[in-house]
Structure 1
Amino acid sequence: MKRERALPLPAGAQPAAGAPAAPDEDMRTLRRLLPWLRPWRTRVALALLLMVAAKLATVGVPLLLKALVDALTPLPGLGAQGTALVLVPAALVAAYGLLRWCSSLLAELRELVMLRATEGVTRALALRAFEHLHALGLRFHLERQTGALTRDLERGTRALQSLVSYALYSVVPTLVEVALVLALLIWRFDVGYAAITAAALVLYVVFTVRVTQWRTRIRRRMNELESASSARAVDALLNFETVKYFNNEAWEARRYDDSLQRLGRARAQTQQSLSLLNAGQQLIIAVALVALLWRATQGVLDGRLTLGDLVMINAFLIQLYLPLNFLGVLYREIRQSLTDLGRLFALLDRAPEVTDAPDARPLQLRHAPQVRFEDVRFGYDPRRPILHGVDLEIPAGRTVAVVGASGAGKSTLVRLLFRFYDVDGGRITVDGHDIRTLTQASLRRAIGIVPQDTVLFNDTIEVNIRYGRPDASFEEVREAARAAHILDFIESLPQGWQTVVGERGLKLSGGEKQRVAIARTLLKNPPILVLDEATSALDSASERAIQTELRRLSERRTTLVIAHRLSTVVEAHEIVVLEQGRVVERGTHAELLARGGAYARLWALQHSATAPGT
């Protein structure tokens, strides 16, 4: 029997990543798959017709082979050589070859008919999963492991291809062929031949199912280790600079090698169980072959069967051998594919934490809006509140800065404004509208942000700046770069605008990345602007230039500034001081200094830290 690795498995035939699914779970997965096939039902029906026609041609081959062998029996008046010269080349050999060619041709036509449908369904499901991942909340993406998640997505979409191409057009053809062969054996011979074949088939299926269920537990462990190993490698590569900073290449290599060793042991157990399965399947088929051929040989010796009958029975058995062997592989791969697809559907079933209300309406702004935080309470974990009744107002067209120590809740305000999370209490309004009554797309379209930690796509500088408004003209992109004081740098590069910035923008310095982020936000041209330590990675001269541009930009917008360095917010219309999720002070820079409270202490601390000689 062929080894499993020698069979031409499709891309979807990947091991299951989760626990073996129960039959009712498999049926639920199949029922969920059917709606995705409905747009392609015409192609599915045509492929089924081609499949039946191909199997009829396949079953007809042994019948022609019998006629060909019997035709070699000498006819009256002709020797054996004369009979062969007259009959065999003229009819049977040509028909035999034609029928074999038709069987292959019909099978290929079936694959061509289903190709577009399979690709269409795979594309639709992959796109739906991609969109759903973007719809899930920030909490999900902070908790996920990128390597394991992408592997689940890959397995799920490829499992769909496996189910469509194998389950629908390989299992059904095999069952059709088995039914036709059993009917022919009963019709041409007696029930005994069909009984032996059917018994072998039932025993083969039962043995395969039982052993495969046992193997699935072993493969589940192997796949968990495989995912963990992949996630470990991806995580280390994503944090390449951190690994280098702490000189931990050897430690990361040891951790990766440890995961590879565990994976190797699991793979060895999987191969051992596969060998046991293959040996048992081969034994069942061998016993059935011996029993049928012995019975047919006795029939020829007794004169009840011709030599052609013996050859036909042997040909039928050989034709059934491959489908039976393939059926075992199919069962294993289909069960694994159902599990993989079930995991993907479970991901699609995961409800987004933040959703649009049924009556949500788009935010329409004709001017810079007023933004208010009214008695806002929030905690990432209910047991650990972050914000305690924060009241904050950003008047239309004004700039309000929020300062405070790390962990005070400043960045949480930004996440709530973008509606990455919903507040636990109170509300946030834009132009008088509770943001929970607005569509998320329209709300986020109205807000632009220059984050402290700028992450860029591994693409060109032009693409990264244009991301702020993909339909912008090149002149608009260029003007945004000029306003962000990065145009001269871009045009001095050997590849200019087509320079690829590398994974997460690692080819650029921190200041260059932040200028790209500023240009991207300038291009978006939003009515609400959020500056989260927007110049923290810049040198003093560049910071002054950018601050001047940001102040000009903020004049026509409602601006929220998050800052640690108080020198960057002295010109804000109002400064709000947060401590442990509570507003402790608010006022202008001069008012807060005169008050001598928390802000004055922070100012004195930073001023002394930056004084010459300190």
Structure 2
Amino acid sequence: MTSRSNGSTGSTGNIDTDTSRKGSLPALKGLLPFLRPYRRQFALAGIALLFAAGATLAIPAAFKRMIDMGFGAGSAVTSIEHVDATFLALFGVAAVLAIATAARFYMVSWLGERVTADVRAAVYRHVVHQSPEFFETTRTGEVLSRLTTDTTLIQSVVGTSISLALRNTLLFIGGLVMLFVTSPKLTAIILGMLVLVVLPIVLYGRRVRKLSRDSQDRIADASAMAGEILNAMPTVQSFTHEEIEAGRFQGSVDSAFQTAIRRIRARATLTMLAILLVFGSIVFVLWLGAHAVLEGTTTGGELGQFILYAAIVAGSVGALSEVMGEAQRAAGATERLMELLAARSDIQDPAQPLQLPPRTENGARVTLDDVSFSYPSRLQSAALSHLKLDIRAGETVALVGPSGAGKTTLFQLLLRFYDPQSGAVRLDGVDIRDLSLHTLRDAIGIVPQDTIIFSSSALENIRYGRPDASDEEVIAVAKMAAAHEFIERLPEGYASFLGERGVRLSGGQRQRIAIARALLKNPPLLLLDEATSALDAESERLVQRALEAAMIGRTTIIIAHRLATVQRADRIVVLDDGRVVESGTHASLVAHGGVYANLAALQFQPAAPAEQLG
């Protein structure tokens, strides 16, 4: 198979963090895929909306009838009958309005909650499938801000703003039609004046849109900073930087506050302009209508009806301007979420993935064929350079070398967190780029140097290696990893909560949990990244014995700093500057007097510092 180049040097995994871009209303189209599954609910909400709008528009007509027929010329008995009938009809309209409004509120609120949940789930699902390159350039706090703050804005626009916009649009159109029916002359005048007042409102709305986007970005900056510091509290406190970091966060929060105040001030000004200009126009037209009543060219009931419809139209315009501000904020939030969803990882499953050969009793064969790789953020520096390495099935190979030699990079390529710029990595003869990521990673177990413990029980932390494992299987591997005894001593045994990032455990205990997790997975290839570095001498002896048993029937690659681990390996591979410089057994390499011998001498020489191999 020929070596292939991929796009790992590209930036398709990055999200746009340009804060100068304006969120525009067309960005809300990105929500359509999340809205389509709920057409039925939208239809029901639309029906309720039509009934509510129709009931609202019927109220002024009832008032006209009451004024002209109830208080006009005629006998008192006739007037009372008209008043009674009109008020009875008015109550019926109010009942329809109440029921329709409640139904509309329920349906749109349900839609807001449902769509927001779907967006959050989709964004999170997409993010967790991104390659490490994505997280090299994107802060975790930025992602969390988009999952929380931005989706809350979307909930507002779907659950409230869309409904209000449709309702007030219907009221505006319906009220406008009824204004023409009531008095074409006065309506023509009021429309001419509205055209003059809309232009400044639209122009100022653009400023509100830009400030809305900036406000969200400042909030994201503050969240990102908080997430970074909270994840590094031991370091912050050990350097007594609590006040410094609190001051930095205060500055970030103040920046977000100032941006938010500018947005609020702009929105307040926009609302003021809209109400003042629109209602000013209406007051002028009503002044003309009052003169028409005095001159006898129109009735009091018609003027009353016109006033109510004018109020409905004016109120709907004011509400639409308010909704527009919310929609512009949501448009910015949608834009940011769509950026996340548009991010594409360079590490993708092949169109037609191959399968690994059936597992043998010896494990898997690993081959690195002329592999060269540079990290996307450090393209000028090669982490691996023309690396060639063939590891037989069932073989235990230890990787040693100075820091930066490429040991951890090799693990990351095996797990296909990155793809090499040239060359190929093969598992049992199959290029790992031809395997699905699930097939590849399911065949590999890893014990990392930086152990990850989840905020759950000891049982569930170990079961993370194989979610369908029984309690008995979990306990069995815990015993193999020398973890059973200390877990049993926990307050609730295997059900004990281990705290966030395992804060209730020592470093050695966390590492034994990780070893048990890897053993439970039972993969053909086992990667040990300094798996015993945090253990005391007694625990190391127990775990080393467990690891030796676990290595039977599988291929094991070890990044080792301690010669006690290295000496038991079938082969030691010495890496330096991304290349294999030596390979052999402990005895042969010491006798050779090369890089490995020098590293061994540094570690064991009594007068020298206790430096590690790597």
The answer for the alignment partner of 1:112 in structure 2 is 106
CA distance in 1, matches of 2:49, 2:192: 26
Q: Which amino acid aligns with 2:255?
A: R
Q: Which amino acid aligns with 2:38?
A: W
Change (3 A) 1:254 1:162: closer
Change (3 A) 1:346 1:611: closer
2:331 to 338, 342, 345: 338
Deviation at 1:600, TM superposition (A): 1.2
Deviation at 1:163, TM superposition (A): 4.2
The answer for the alignment partner of 1:369 in structure 2 is 364
Change (3 A) 1:244 1:476: same
CA distance in 2, matches of 1:321, 1:498: 62
2:71 to 61, 70, 73: 73
Deviates more, 1:442-451 or 1:344-353: 344-353
The answer for the alignment partner of 1:383 in structure 2 is 380
> CA contact under 8 A between 1:461 and 1:501: conserved in structure 2?
yes
Change (3 A) 1:609 1:305: farther
Change (3 A) 1:183 1:104: same
CA distance in 2, matches of 1:38, 1:276: 36
1:180 has 2:174 as partner: yes
1:446 has 2:440 as partner: no
CA distance in 1, matches of 2:437, 2:182: 71
> CA contact under 8 A between 1:486 and 1:516: conserved in structure 2?
yes
The answer for the alignment partner of 1:208 in structure 2 is 201
- What secondary structure is seen at the aligned counterpart in 2 of 1:388? strand
Change (3 A) 1:257 1:47: closer
Deviation at 1:359, TM superposition (A): 1.7
> CA contact under 8 A between 1:200 and 1:284: conserved in structure 2?
no
Identity of aligned residues (%): 36
Deviation at 1:198, TM superposition (A): 2.7
> CA contact under 8 A between 1:20 and 1:339: conserved in structure 2?
no
Deviation at 1:166, TM superposition (A): 4.8
The answer for the alignment partner of 1:6 in structure 2 is none
Change (3 A) 1:348 1:610: farther
The answer for the alignment partner of 2:600 in structure 1 is 603
Q: Which amino acid aligns with 1:137?
A: S
Q: Which amino acid aligns with 1:362?
A: Q
Deviations 1:97-129 (A, max 9, x none): 221231232132234344554444433332222
Change (3 A) 1:120 1:74: closer
Change (3 A) 1:524 1:109: same
Deviations 1:493-524 (A, max 9, x none): 22322322222222221111111111111111
CA distance in 1, matches of 2:172, 2:441: 59
The answer for the alignment partner of 2:140 in structure 1 is 146
1:523 to 520, 525, 532: 520
1:512 to 501, 509, 530: 509
Change (3 A) 1:17 1:154: farther
CA distance in 1, matches of 2:65, 2:595: 102
The answer for the alignment partner of 1:393 in structure 2 is 390
The answer for the alignment partner of 1:134 in structure 2 is 128
1:352 has 2:349 as partner: no
Q: How does 1:193-342 map to 2 (within 5 A)?
A: 193-342=186-335
CA distance in 2, matches of 1:604, 1:590: 13
Deviations 1:222-281 (A, max 9, x none): 333322222222211111111011111111122122223333333333333233223322
- What secondary structure is seen at the aligned counterpart in 1 of 2:223? helix
Deviation at 1:349, TM superposition (A): 1.5
Change (3 A) 1:421 1:173: same
> CA contact under 8 A between 2:575 and 2:581: conserved in structure 1?
yes
The answer for the alignment partner of 2:43 in structure 1 is 45
Change (3 A) 1:532 1:360: same
Deviation at 1:19, TM superposition (A): 4.2
TM-score calculated relative to the size of structure 2: 0.90
CA distance in 2, matches of 1:392, 1:54: 74
- What secondary structure is seen at the aligned counterpart in 2 of 1:41? helix
Change (3 A) 1:208 1:459: farther
Q: Which amino acid aligns with 1:94?
A: L
Q: How does 1:61-100 map to 2 (within 5 A)?
A: 61-73=59-71, 76-78=74-76, 85-88=80-83, 90-100=84-94
- What secondary structure is seen at the aligned counterpart in 1 of 2:346? coil
The answer for the alignment partner of 2:57 in structure 1 is 59
CA distance in 2, matches of 1:163, 1:519: 47
CA distance in 2, matches of 1:204, 1:150: 41
- What secondary structure is seen at the aligned counterpart in 2 of 1:135? coil
Deviation at 1:488, TM superposition (A): 1.8
**Count of residues in Structure 1 that have an aligned counterpart in Structure 2:** 591
The answer for the alignment partner of 1:415 in structure 2 is 412
Deviates more, 1:441-450 or 1:380-389: 380-389
Q: Which amino acid aligns with 1:604?
A: A
Deviation at 1:30, TM superposition (A): 4.4
> CA contact under 8 A between 2:204 and 2:270: conserved in structure 1?
yes
Deviations 1:161-217 (A, max 9, x none): 344345643323322221211211212222x32224434544454333211212333
> CA contact under 8 A between 1:209 and 1:331: conserved in structure 2?
no
Deviates more, 1:318-327 or 1:583-592: 318-327
- What secondary structure is seen at the aligned counterpart in 1 of 2:574? strand
Q: How does 1:423-442 map to 2 (within 5 A)?
A: 423-442=420-439
CA distance in 2, matches of 1:60, 1:17: 49
> CA contact under 8 A between 2:463 and 2:517: conserved in structure 1?
yes
1:559 has 2:556 as partner: yes
CA distance in 1, matches of 2:31, 2:114: 13
The answer for the alignment partner of 1:7 in structure 2 is none
Q: Which amino acid aligns with 1:373?
A: L
Deviation at 1:391, TM superposition (A): 1.5
> CA contact under 8 A between 1:178 and 1:320: conserved in structure 2?
yes
Deviation at 1:583, TM superposition (A): 0.7
TM-score calculated relative to the size of structure 1: 0.90
> CA contact under 8 A between 2:23 and 2:209: conserved in structure 1?
no
Change (3 A) 1:609 1:203: farther
- What secondary structure is seen at the aligned counterpart in 2 of 1:571? coil
Q: Flag structure 1 segments of 5+ consecutive residues without an equivalent.
A: 1-15
1:477 has 2:474 as partner: yes
CA distance in 1, matches of 2:236, 2:491: 30
1:403 to 391, 394, 400: 400
- What secondary structure is seen at the aligned counterpart in 2 of 1:263? helix
CA distance in 2, matches of 1:526, 1:66: 82
Deviations 1:309-355 (A, max 9, x none): 23222222332333222111111221221222122112222221111
Change (3 A) 1:493 1:217: same
- What secondary structure is seen at the aligned counterpart in 2 of 1:297? helix
> CA contact under 8 A between 2:182 and 2:305: conserved in structure 1?
no
> CA contact under 8 A between 1:403 and 1:578: conserved in structure 2?
yes
Deviations 1:401-446 (A, max 9, x none): 1001111100000000000000111111111111111111110011
